[in-house]
Structure 1
Amino acid sequence: MYKILIVEDDEIIAKAIKNAIESWGYDALCVSDFRDVIKTFVSYSPHLVLLDISLPFYNGYYWCSKIRKNSKVPIIFISSASDNMNIVMAVNMGGDDFIVKPFDLNVLTAKVQAMLRRTYDFAGQTNLLEHKGAILNTGDATLTYNNKKIELTKNEYKILQVLIENKGKVVSRDTIMTKLWETDSFVDDNTLTVNITRLRKKLDEAGLHDFISTKKGIGYMV
């Protein structure tokens, strides 16, 4: 089921959009915390974002730029600010479409359906995994922290993926090595230790101190 994130501070409009989208069989969520839209975005992992421009605390352009640092998910701006400058700005910031308020809910839903078809008929779903502010994008195998991308090797990415997917739980060394074998890499116990050490150094240099914990004789956890 496709998931649509609605970033609209007018509760009446947001609820109307949510009801219209859900009536077509999609899942929809309205943002409630406008101080940290990214937190909701990461936890919900939507397939499409409907984004107003005028919002409390930070405007839609700000949140669009934040989303674009981590994801290529389609973003449709919805706004009454329909002058050419705002439309050009929305596109330049990474928006995929612009719908002017007031709008017909049927037209909005049709645009959402068309955007989902164009995006996901030809591309796989992008998932974001988050821990302590670090965002791992499983779509392009990148790690972002404090708006900076951290370069990862294939093995380092796989290690982080399995650890963050199981955050709060200890992951055995055998489980991690099995995950690495899926990439056709031969990994023994010593190789895993080297990869973990190198990964920890990269995370530490990026400001992610003590990100990976060792559980002696068992494995690792985040």
Structure 2
Amino acid sequence: MAQIVVVEDDLYMREELIDLLNKSGYDTFPILEFEDVVSQIQAIAPDLILLDINLPYKSGFDICRELKAKGIGGVLVLTARDKLQDEIHALGLGADDYLTKPCNMERLLARIKSLLRRTEQQQIQHDLLKGNGFLLDPHTFTIYVGKTSYVLPPNEGKILLTLLMNYPRTVSKEELFHALWGTDKFIDENALQVNFTRLRKTMRNYGLDDRIETVRGEGYRLKVQVDI
């Protein structure tokens, strides 16, 4: 469930926003004290911040600048200030969107959904590991090749992740035993070969032939360059 912080000093507007967001399935956190807004938001680490501009102690512009400098959440400015220069200024500070009050609630929810989707996609892109012609999500073992994707079985995913994390170094069989089974004792080497065969077949099905190289007497590694 996405977490949204509401930075709004008008009580009635704040309660309306909280009610709307809660009914829409979001986890909502209102800021009630405005002396140190950024620290409060940082402690919550939300997915999105709804930020007013006219606030006590510090303006929403300054708060937006600090949030973006710290890389905290997406920022949707929601304010009664409808001048173009204010919108341009907020966007220049890094705000992800700008809406003026009063605002149609369906429009607001649509903008929130769009921003959360964008943030999620950016996070996925940030986490992906780059291979030769493919990307790998280290958390789900999803391999991305062009516009296609496939979730690798756990053992195949662990092998590919281990090779990527150690690229271009050769990874020994013992290291792979640990990655797969947590030990290198009493492991049948055939079990490792079976998983390698399956991984190579999967990669071949996605046009990733010969990405994994066997280094005799040493182990395995991803090829530095593949002729296509």
Q: Which residue of 1 aligns with 2:47?
A: 47
Q: Count matched residues.
A: 129
Q: Which has the larger radius of gyration?
A: 2
1:25 Cα deviation after fit: 0.9
CA RMSD of aligned residues (A): 2.0
Q: Gaps (5+ residues) in structure 1? A: 127-138, 140-182, 185-222
> 1:94 and 1:106 mapped to 2: Cα distance?
24
Q: Which residue of 2 aligns with 1:26?
A: 26
Q: Which residue of 1 aligns with 2:4?
A: 4
Change (3 A) 1:125 1:2: farther
Q: Which residue of 2 aligns with 1:80?
A: 80
1:120 Cα deviation after fit: 0.4
Normalised TM-score (structure 2): 0.53
1:24 Cα deviation after fit: 1.3
Q: Gaps (5+ residues) in structure 2? A: 128-164, 167-228
> 2:11 and 2:124 mapped to 1: Cα distance?
32
> 2:35 and 2:94 mapped to 1: Cα distance?
21
Give CA-to-partner distance per residue, 1:66-108, whole Å, 9 cap, x none: 1112115210101111111101001011101101110112211
1:140-155 aligned at under 5 Å gives the runs: none
Change (3 A) 1:89 1:32: same
Q: Which residue of 2 aligns with 1:200?
A: none
Q: Which has the higher contact order (CA 8 A, sep 6+)?
A: 1
Runs of 4+ in 1 over 2 A off after TM superposition: none
Q: Which residue of 1 aligns with 2:216?
A: none
Please state whether the residue corresponding to 1:121 is helix, strand or coil. helix
Please state whether the residue corresponding to 2:5 is helix, strand or coil. strand
1:125 Cα deviation after fit: 11
Is this contact kept in 2: 1:5–1:49, CA < 8 A? yes
Normalised TM-score (structure 1): 0.55
Q: Which residue of 2 aligns with 1:148?
A: none
